[in-house]
Amino acid sequence: MTSSQHICRICGAFGDHPIFTGREMMFGTREEFAYFKCTECGCLQIAEIPDDLGRYYPPNYNAHNIKISCSHNKLKAFLLKQRFRNAIFDKGYKVNKILSYFVTMVVPKIEGVLPVTKVLKICHLKNFSARILDVGCGNWSIWLQRLKLMGFVNLTGIDPFISSSLEKCGIRILKQSIAQTEGQFDLITFHHSLEHIINQQEFLTHAQRLLAPDGVILIRIPTVSSYAWEKYGVNWIEMDPPRHLYLHSKESINLLGQQAGLELFETLHDSYEFEFYGSEQYLQDIPLVADSSYWKDKNSSIFSKQEIAAFKMLAEEVNRKGVAGRAAFFFRAQTHK
């Protein structure tokens, strides 16, 4: 670690911020990139944004390579919708009790960690007609697909970098930026997309503009306010140079929200074993997409079942203690008394 003078793009602090050199390890090019960590707000950010960022998102990049499926049992979907109606909106208790004899509600989770019903209750949505926008979703949004199966009907995703717009399964995915988006939304989500955005304040201000009264913005990002960053440093898998331009601290994401006219009202931590086995692989110089990667092949002999179980337990612990490397931040428009 060295230090050099830079201006923080989040809080504006100019100074001798510590420098960290990370490597591109998702695809294993091992190209090096300098990041600096602001001494004031704690945000870790890339020192020089590459002019050719697009080349670090090849066709096999995961977010642009999602398989789309709309298949589901219509009767089961109807019954589950009635049960989710109770779980999310606290309506139809008697009906839900009857339905419980016929169908078991498997609560979908976000990447196997956060229960979707818990997230939606925090957002205080009123009914299945809530207008929901997913920003930076790639060619398809698994998040919106889950919401569709739960019963939501007004679902839109946007991403300016996909090949074309599409409408499938009752979900619209539009090839456009947030600056080009109009209308009002009750819930706007950023599922690990904000860290890829260059102009953070401008981008989040556009999102605030699109909020309906009492609307919520949910931002899920990696955070350096974490045990994993302290333990792994530049081998932390969530650093992901150069695609992750910003690795916010809890202080810097709160500040960014304030700059965009938002207030933070809830935080959930949602790391899972990926954060630990991925970082351990990088320590061993094993790229994420390597044939020997546990992420690519769960039958890989890199880690034993006992080690994976230990990573899961560690993820649960850091989530419980509030020091996880992934967190979900809930914002609403600032209230002025």
Alpha-carbon separation of residue 167 from 47, 152, 157, 174, 268 (angstroms):
38, 15, 10, 8, 31
pLDDT for residue 299? 87
211-222 vs 185-191, strand pairing mode: parallel
How many Cβ atoms from other residues are within 10 Å of residue 239's Cβ? 29
Max alpha carbon distance in the chain (Å)? 65
For the segment 312-328, what is each residue's pLDDT rounded down to a tens digit? Answer: 999 999 999 999 999 99
Among 101-110, 223-232, 294-303, the minimum mean pLDDT is found in 101-110
pLDDT class for 337, splitting at 50, 70, 90?
very low
**Per-residue pLDDT, 211:** 97
**170: DSSP letter:** T
Is pTM, for the whole model, over 0.85?
yes
Least confident of 60-64, 81-85, 130-134, 195-199: 81-85
Whether residue 93 is predicted with pLDDT greater than 70 in this model: the reply is no
pLDDT digit string, tens, across residues 2-32? 777 899 999 999 999 999 999 999 999 999 9
Give the E-state strand segments of 38-148 in sequence order: 44-46, 109-110, 114-115, 131-135
59 pLDDT band, cuts 50/70/90, is confident
Provide the CB-side half-sphere exposure for 295 (13 A, CA).
21
List pLDDT tens digits, range 168-209: 989 999 999 999 999 999 999 999 999 999 999 999 999 999
Q: CA 210 to CA 207: how far, in whole Å?
A: 5
